[in-house]
Amino acid sequence: MGGAWGWQTIVLREGEYTLEQLQKLHDVAREEKCILVHRLATEFSANGAWARPTENTINYFAKLFAEGENGLIPSTMHVYITWGNEPNHGTEFGGSCDPVAYGNSAVAAGRALKAANRNIVFMLAGLDLAAPESRPAFCDAAQFYQDMLAAVPQVVDVWDALASHCYPMNFVGAATTSGRRSIMCHRWEKNLLQSLGVAKAAQFKAFITETGWKHGAEGAPIEYAASNARFALQRWQQAGDIEAVTYFAYKFLTPPFSSFTLVNQENMGNEVAFAISGIPKVKGDPAHIHNATCTSTFPQDIVENVPFNLHVECRNNGTDIWDGLSGTYSLLLQSPFTYTCTDFHTVKPRHTLSTTCTINPGATSGCPTLNVGLIKNGNLLMNMMSSQMCVYPAPKLTLTALRRFPSVVLSEGVAEVQVIRENDETLISRAQIFIQQGSAEIPAVEGVNFDDTYRVVVIKPGSLPVQIVNVRFAKTDNILEVPVFLPIDKNEDGKFSLSDLISSYSR
């Protein structure tokens, strides 16, 4: 309650969810910045107990959590799973406590789930640490672990973290205590498992998937429960080996668990809920899958100091939302060039980012590589695509066959050359040329590129302008033969008119 990327334990029954339904659940969790712990369950059997999982149970969940192009996109990179619930209660495992059968079931489930999704974090079910040794109804937790590990040692291979049910003594004890029946019960479990030969238990992160105080008529005063919950949360935050705590229960309005609920029928929080929500939280920063499929058309040859537009489209194939505008994600173009890109807003998984970047190579020379990357909070997450582009100086233009009608070569003179981009009629460049023996040269035509087509217009005083169309500049010399000038533009307005005729006869 409160804090970004908090945790929630949910129960998934066999056959309850389709992939589409589970995906919608994870989409909501992603939007709300919530990490889910999935407690996998079966159905109630005829004897009133939870049925034991079967091969069909395992196959159902493995298929449900399978990764891939058409598989689940979870709210975070890792998918957290606990296999069942308190199997040292006979009613939670087909009617009788059986550590060996549970261990074999966990091995089969862990292997199948991990084969389906490499990011599964698999946990054995949290045990009831207060249960007595009274089989078949109950197994003592320590004896359950001992019997299971002795008969099924391979269960350790699929075991990634510890799910613990850390209730205070008799559900009303103080949050200051430690040991097996306390809010720090995970420490007792880790020590026990190490003594039984599970060396990796020392590094287990603990997921306290159940905890809470019974309050009201059947428990402690609610003020007492609130005070202890507040202290417990502070203690858990300082523990260092606890990954998550999920309180039991957020909303449970009917016996036997109504005395644990945090909210009422109207979803109004009680004193315990306010105590928990009022504690400053550590902002979560879960790992995410960062992957994208991008398309763009990079120019191969560009001109120094000439900006160009690069349209980029990238499909988000990861698990996080790319919140661009005023968010934590942005694009990074790694190159010697300067650039600006249009803003993008929210790009959810399996949606596409679309942006246009205006890039200026400046005075760069050579053939640098342009990398398009995704950054989060200033840190590069991945390079999405790249291309090598060669930068060239502005191209040279030579004009030849400069003649006056009918075919008199111009030995000298001055003219203006205008270069106009054909697709939008934008004037790109204007330069004065000096004619010598029927030719002229522009050492560098500024502003043009090697991809667009242009009209080259030559304007000589007293003559109608002439033009060469569909000009595409090359990296080397560009030589254009100029049409013959007609010396009939007496008023130099760029067109032949009555005024030009009058000017001719008046002379």
Note the pLDDT tens digit of each residue in 294-341. Answer: 999 999 999 999 999 999 999 999 999 999 877 899 999 999 999 999
Q: For residue 351, tell me if it sits in a domain.
A: yes
Q: For residue 1, tell me if it sits in a domain.
A: no
Q: For residue 283, tell me if it sits in a domain.
A: no
What pLDDT does 494 receive?
57
Domain range spanning residue 356?
292-392
Instruction: Tell me the per-residue pLDDT of 117-175, one tens digit each, with 9 for 90 and over.
Output: 999 999 999 999 999 999 999 999 999 999 999 999 999 999 999 999 999 999 999 99
| Rounded Cα distance, 467 and 251, in Å | 80
423 plus 310 within the same structural domain: no
What pLDDT does 325 receive?
76
Kindly report the CA angle at 310 between 306 and 312, in degrees rounded to 5? 165
Amino acid at 215: H
Q: What's the pLDDT band for 282 if we cut at 50, 70, 90?
A: confident
How much is the CA Rg of the chain, to the nearest whole Å?
Answer: 37
What pLDDT does 400 receive?
97
Averaged over 234-240, what is the pLDDT?
Answer: 96
Q: Quick one: tokens of 242? A: 């606890």
Q: For residue 286, tell me if it sits in a domain.
A: no
Averaged over 13-41, what is the pLDDT?
Answer: 98
163 plus 48 within the same structural domain: yes
Q: Whole-model pTM?
A: 0.88
Q: Which residues pair with 9 in a beta bridge?
A: 37
Q: For residue 297, tell me if it sits in a domain.
A: yes
What pLDDT does 493 receive?
62
Last residue of a domain, one of 245, 277, 309: 277
Q: Quick one: tokens of 428? A: 């790109």
Instruction: Tell me the per-residue pLDDT of 418-428, one tens digit each, with 9 for 90 and over.
Output: 999 999 999 99
Last residue of a domain, one of 392, 423, 453: 392
For 220, phi then psi, to 5°, come to: -85, 160
Judge whether residue 500 has pLDDT over 80: no
What pLDDT does 499 receive?
57
What pLDDT does 501 receive?
47
Instruction: Tell me the per-residue pLDDT of 362-418, one tens digit each, with 9 for 90 and over.
Output: 999 999 999 999 999 999 999 999 999 999 999 999 999 999 999 999 999 999 999
What pLDDT does 227 receive?
98
Q: For residue 435, tell me if it sits in a domain.
A: yes
120 plus 177 within the same structural domain: yes
270 plus 309 within the same structural domain: no
- CB-based contacts of 467-472 (< 8 A; 24+ apart in sequence): 469/422, 470/422, 471/419
- Domain CATH number, residue 445: 2.60.40
| Rounded Cα distance, 378 and 314, in Å | 19
160 plus 262 within the same structural domain: yes
Which has the minimum average pLDDT: 51-60, 224-233, 248-257? 248-257
43 plus 154 within the same structural domain: yes
373 plus 447 within the same structural domain: no
Exposed, middle or buried: residue 496 (CB in 10 Å: 0-12, 13-18, 19+)? middle
Q: Are 245 and 208 in contact (CB under 8 A)?
A: yes
Per the listing, tokens 């582009």 go with 389
Q: Are 400 and 341 in contact (CB under 8 A)?
A: no
Strands 403-404 and 412-421: what pairing?
unpaired
Q: For residue 284, tell me if it sits in a domain.
A: no
Last residue of a domain, one of 277, 309, 343: 277
How many other C-beta atoms can be found within 10 angstroms of the C-beta atom of residue 27?
16
423 plus 314 within the same structural domain: no
Q: For residue 127, tell me if it sits in a domain.
A: yes
What pLDDT does 490 receive?
76
- Domain CATH number, residue 174: 3.20.20.80
Averaged over 181-188, what is the pLDDT?
Answer: 99
Instruction: Tell me the per-residue pLDDT of 437-486, one tens digit each, with 9 for 90 and over.
Output: 999 999 999 999 999 999 999 999 999 999 999 999 999 889 999 999 99
- Domain CATH number, residue 376: 2.60.40.10
380 plus 403 within the same structural domain: no
36 plus 101 within the same structural domain: yes
Q: What is the DSSP letter of 395?
A: P
28 plus 167 within the same structural domain: yes
258 plus 352 within the same structural domain: no
Domain count, the chain: 3
Q: Hey, is 383 helix, strand or coil?
A: strand
